[in-house]
Amino acid sequence: MRKKTGYKWTSATLLALVSILSLLPAYFASAAPIPPEQQNWKWEPYGPRVDEILMPVILDYDARLMALKKGDVDTGFIQPTRVAEVKDDPNIYILTYQTFNLQFLGINCQQYPWNYTAVRKAVAHLIDRDWIIRNVFNGFGVPVESAIPPAFGDWNNPNVPTYPYSRDLAKKELLDAGFTYD
């Protein structure tokens, strides 16, 4: 037999409580700069120290790029399609690096024709990864053959099967699987 506590928690009550608590951090957040606090660094032998770091939020990409060109900000992400605009500027140093991002094609493998491995392999042969990197990402990128990009280091498996761009190989995959052309 359960002891009665006098409280009756219902799902609706708990859901309302969780909803309110999840909104509290967003309510107290502010976009205004936070004033620096006085710190006592006497115990720390290393330096020099930075008094403050301002991180302006500039939502418009063109305004962000203009702020970088004018020197109003010291760092920023430059879209690959816009690198040509600033690459010759002597005041801007462009650092390229591998990221953890990747673009992928998701397929529902439960439905026809995607439930056939040969169809998926044929499509893999029809994707010209090098063309996409050259023309869509302006040369900034590397082909990725798995769900883990090379920037993850040892977690990336470079030995997965690859599917080079080839219409002939795509056609062969489909013909070998019994598909026909009209």
98-112, pLDDT tens digit by residue? 777 778 888 899 999
pLDDT band at 137 (very low <50, low <70, confident <90, very high): confident
Residue partners of 81: CB distance under 8 A and separation at least 6: 138
d(C-alpha 121, C-alpha 113), whole Å: 12
For residues 161 and 110, is the Cβ–Cβ distance under 8 A? no
Question: How many CA atoms does the CB half-sphere of 62 hold within 13 Å?
Answer: 0
Among residues 72, 109, 111, 63, the alpha carbon closest in space to that of 92 is found at 72
- The whole-number pLDDT of residue 103 equals 80
Among residues 52, 58, 51, the alpha carbon closest in space to that of 31 is found at 58
d(C-alpha 55, C-alpha 172), whole Å: 55
pLDDT band at 36 (very low <50, low <70, confident <90, very high): low
- The whole-number pLDDT of residue 80 equals 81
d(C-alpha 179, C-alpha 182), whole Å: 10
Among residues 142, 144, 177, 170, the alpha carbon closest in space to that of 158 is found at 144
- The whole-number pLDDT of residue 26 equals 46
Of 1-5, 8-12, 13-17, 66-70, which gets the smallest average pLDDT?
1-5
The single residue listed with the structure tokens 């930075």 is 50
Average pLDDT over residues 38-57: 70
Question: Tokens in use for 162?
Answer: 């690859």
- The whole-number pLDDT of residue 153 equals 86
Dihedral, 81, 82, 87, 92 alpha carbons, nearest 10: -130
Dihedral, 150, 152, 153, 156 alpha carbons, nearest 10: -60
Sign of the torsion angle spanned by Cα atoms 26, 30, 34, 37:
negative
